[in-house]
Amino acid sequence: MDIFRNGLKDKNLAYLDDVIVLSSTFEEHLENLRQVFDRLQHFKLYANRSKCNFVCLKVKYLGHYITNAGIEVDPAKIEAIVKIPPPKNTKQVQSFLQTCNWYRRFIPQFARIEQFHQVTNFLEVGTR
C-alpha cells in the first residue's frame, strides 16, 4: 500500500483495502480522485464500485468519522462504552480503562480525570 500511496500521502488515507481521498474543494477532489484511479490502473488494482462513495462530507472509517472538521468519534461507540456494566474484577477494570484510553484524544483533560488515577493506582498496588 505504501508504493500505491507514494506521492499521495497527504491526499488520502489507506488501511488494508480501504482508501479515502481527502480534498478541500470539489475541483481538488476530482483531481485527487483522478490520481488515485490512475494509480489503481498502474498497479492493476480495482475498486469495487458498489462499495465506493464519492464526494462525501462525512465518512465512517475505522470506528471514527472523517469530516471536514477532522476526526470525530462514532457516537455509537460512546453509547456502547456508557452501557458497559460496572467492572467486577481487576481484568474487567483493565479492559474498561483500555477502552477509555483508546478514545482519550477526544476527551478534554483525559489525563487529569481523578477517577482514572485512583483506579490505576489501585491496580498498581493490587499487582505488587
- Which residue from 66, 87, 63 is spatially nearest to 76, judged by alpha carbons? 63
Q: What angle do CA 83, 103, 74 make, to 5 degrees?
A: 65
Give the integer Cα–Cα distance in Å for 78 and 59. 17
Q: How far apart are CA 92 and CA 85, in angstroms?
A: 10
- Phi/psi region, residue 38 (left: phi>0; alpha: psi -120 to 50; beta: rest), is alpha
Q: In b/e form, how buried is each residue of 46-66, taking b as 16+ CB within 10 angstroms?
A: eeeeeeeeeeeeeeeeeebeb
Report pLDDT for 27: 94
d(CA 96, CA 79): 14
pLDDT for res 18: 84
Print pLDDT tens along the chain (128 aa).
566 666 666 777 777 778 888 888 899 999 989 988 998 898 898 888 998 888 888 988 888 898 888 888 888 888 888 888 888 888 888 888 888 888 888 877 777 776 776 777 767 766 55
Q: Which domains does the chain have, with CATH numbers?
A: 1-72 (3.30.70.270), 74-126 (no CATH)
**Overall pTM surpassing 0.75 (yes/no):** no
The reported pLDDT for the residue numbered 50 is: 92
Q: What pLDDT, on the 0 to 100 scale, is given for residue 3? A: 64
Q: What kind and span of H or E run contains 18?
A: strand 18-21
